[in-house]
Amino acid sequence: MLSDVQDGVKEPARWSKSVQVVGAHAEGEVGRVVTGGVTDIPGATMLEKFRHLADVDDSLKRFTLFEPRGCAQMTVNLLLPPTHRAADAAFIPLQPDGPHAMSGSNAMCVATVLLETGMLPMAEPETIVVLDTPAGLVRAVARCKNGKCESVSLEMFPSFVEHLDHPLELEGHGTLLVDVAFGGCYFALLDARRLGFSITSDEARDLVELGARASRAAAEQIPVKHPSVASFDKVEYGLFCAQDGNTIRNGNVIYPGRMDRSPCGTGTAARLAVMHARGVLQAGVEIESRSIIDSVFRAEVTGATKVGHRKAVTTKLTGRAWIYGIYSLGIDPSDPYQLGYTLSDTWGINIVT
């Protein structure tokens, strides 16, 4: 899947493969974007491409994410030709456990990179970019000024509640009641304060340790099944939740054991679906969604819809992304670690290599 080094690119002559990368982050969460060197991924749809990366060939994930070229605290987004005629571009987020169907923070990074590097034309004061993802089309509205994307608003696909107050057995904590919702993937929502947390930076290690156990328990104990996409059939994340008036705080624990630096876009969408279902958030009311480092997404429910037989809501999330670097990743044919390596000191003991 890695293309040969192209003629004219000033890179080491010994490199046999390379990809070009733009480094970006959205509200603190690193979302690098592969802008060159990957021609395409097999599959007629984004979901088929997702399945290929998940089940057939993980070499691109290992090459871009694992050491020495990557680290645990990041996502790499594959920028691909769209498979849907209504889309301007397509992307798939890669994380250490594999490809993911959608990510709000990474969609903000991708839209910002597309526009600020000139890959797509920027119009001021507003540019619309439609992104093709394995979870569906996402409409990104970028507010632009003087060549900069000052913010990106995502008109997300429908989010819905799968379970309210579902029992979860967690060793050391007995039976917890958790809400489970889909916002691009499935989340189990954990009441942070009942578990003794405020979701602040000094709690990161303890949140990760408990959240990883809660995520595994939720995946084992709580059945989920997306009404129209059969492969979305497990709880992927445990999301710690707190609230103070119209400000919510999210702490998302990401494999192999780290905290999302952003407020988590898909997690925020799932949480809005739960809040709307419980009658505590009405459509059109904007709230702040804050992260463990206090970065902010603005979020609101924009309407009601259905996914199959399930009641669902549409949501809008707004945040900011910044480019911090442009560089190439390459393979020297004599390098014994061409697809990278991991160690338990930073990657944890459960990473699959």
For 28-56, the pLDDT digits (tens) are 999 999 999 998 999 999 999 999 999 99
Domain with CATH 3.10.310.10 in the chain: 17-156+323-347, 159-318
Is the pLDDT assigned to residue 10 strictly greater than 90? no
pLDDT of residue 82: 97
CA-to-CA dists, residue 42 to 65, 303, 319, 339, angstroms: 20, 35, 32, 20
> Residue 278 in contact with residue 246, Cβ under 8 Å?
no
Say which of 3, 18, 103, 334 is annotated catalytic.
103
Architecture of domain 17-156+323-347: Roll (3.10)
pLDDT of residue 213: 95
How would residue 8 be classed by pLDDT, with cut points 50, 70 and 90? very low
**Three-point CA angle 24, 151, 207, nearest 5°:** 60
Q: Answer yes or no: 103 catalytic.
A: yes
Which burial class, exposed, middle or buried, applies to 106 when counting CB atoms under 10 A from its CB (0-12, 13-18, 19+)? buried
CA 264 to CA 259: how far, in whole Å? 10
CA 105 to CA 75: how far, in whole Å? 10
Q: What is the average pLDDT across 196-205?
A: 97
Q: In terms of residues, how long is the chain?
A: 353
Distance from the Cα of residue 84 to its chain's centroid: 21
Q: What is the average pLDDT across 149-168?
A: 96
pLDDT of residue 5: 42
Around Cβ 166, how many Cβ atoms within 10 Å? 19
> Residue 29 in contact with residue 104, Cβ under 8 Å?
no
Q: What is the average pLDDT across 265-269?
A: 97
Average pLDDT, whole number, for the chain? Answer: 93
How would residue 12 be classed by pLDDT, with cut points 50, 70 and 90? low
How would residue 4 be classed by pLDDT, with cut points 50, 70 and 90? very low
For 201-219, the pLDDT digits (tens) are 999 999 999 999 999 999 9
Q: 6 vs 151, which has greater pLDDT?
A: 151
Q: Residues of the chain with pLDDT > 70: what percent?
A: 95
DSSP string, 299-330: EEEEEEEEETTEEEEEEEEEE-EEEEEEEEEE
pLDDT of residue 193: 96
Two tokens, residue 228: 């129209």
The residue to which tokens 């480019």 are assigned: 323
Q: Does domain 159-318 have CATH number 3.20.20.80?
A: no
Q: 344 vs 180, which has greater pLDDT?
A: 180
Distance from the Cα of residue 124 to its chain's centroid: 27
pLDDT of residue 1: 52
